[in-house]
Amino acid sequence: MKPHLVSKEVLARQLYRYSPAYRLAAFLLFGFLFLQVPAVVWLIYERQADQDRRTRAGQLATEAARIASDRKALADTEKKLKRIQGLAPVLRARLPISAVLGKIEQLAPRDLALSQIVIDAGEFQPVQIETGLFQVPHQISIVIAGQETAQGGDAYKHLAGKLLESLPPGSKIADTSLAEGQPFKTFRLALNAPTDGNYFGLGVTKILTQNSL
């Protein structure tokens, strides 16, 4: 091919097209354009996500307003519930003495005759309830004295053991003693029981069970 057949413009264009500088510039340009694709995708995604999340926020705000409205209607019940919960420390510390006495009556064997039952509340601690203070007991002491027949054996110990099983966990026998005598032996039992709200062993049911209302 003779060079004079190719015009200067064609030569210049070919030189321009195949030169490394041109290729580098083209590469950079296409690279830059290619890099814009994820950015555009990201932009579209973020705009869509923003729209969705704003819509969701609006729905949640509407839902919150509805819930607040519902809750307002239950404000009275909620206030009552809070006051009931505020009384819980007092109620929990109240060991029903009638249940203890009933259990003693139920467990006492026929070989024993009780002559004395003394129950004392102790270890008082003040509890703040609403605007006032109330001293709640954290322990009760039970003293049982009486007579046992000569054939009774360890009936008083049996009573102590059975009563201990019925009292709240953490209860303990403080003292057991037996004095010989005629015709009856005299015994004395002393037990301590915590007032922790677990009175099921005594046959006490929860205050809010349906039957107790």
Contacts with another protein, residue ranges (CB under 8 A)? 39, 42-43, 46-47, 49-50, 53-54, 56-57, 60-61, 63-64, 67-68, 70-71, 74, 76-81, 83-84, 87, 90-91, 94, 96-99, 101-102, 105, 113-121, 126, 129-137, 146-147, 149, 184, 207-208, 210, 212-213
Q: What per-residue string of b and e applies to 138-172 under the rule 16 or more CB within 10 Å gives b?
A: ebbebebbbbbeeebeebbebbbebbeebbbeebe
- List, in order, residues 6 or more apart from 167 with CB less than 8 Å away: 100, 191, 193, 201, 202
Residue 145 vs 164, nearer CB to another protein: 145
Which residue has tokens 């819930």?
Answer: 67
Q: Crossing angle, helix 155-166 and helix 97-107, to 10 degrees?
A: 140
Residue 29 vs 97, nearer CB to another protein: 97
Shortest gap between Cβ of 22 and another protein (angstroms)?
28
Residue 6 vs 96, nearer CB to another protein: 96
Shortest gap between Cβ of 184 and another protein (angstroms)?
6
Shortest gap between Cβ of 183 and another protein (angstroms)?
9
Shortest gap between Cβ of 94 and another protein (angstroms)?
6
Kindly list the distances between the CA atom of residue 213 and the CA atoms of 83, 169, 205, 208, in Å, as whole numbers in the listed order: 17, 27, 11, 7
Q: What per-residue string of b and e applies to 49-60 under the rule 16 or more CB within 10 Å gives b?
A: eeeeeeeeeeee
Which residue has tokens 């990201």?
Answer: 42
Residue 19 vs 55, nearer CB to another protein: 55
Residue 119 vs 173, nearer CB to another protein: 119
Residue 11 vs 105, nearer CB to another protein: 105
Shortest gap between Cβ of 13 and another protein (angstroms)?
36
Shortest gap between Cβ of 198 and another protein (angstroms)?
17
Give the span between the Cα atoms of 184 and 176, in whole angstroms: 16
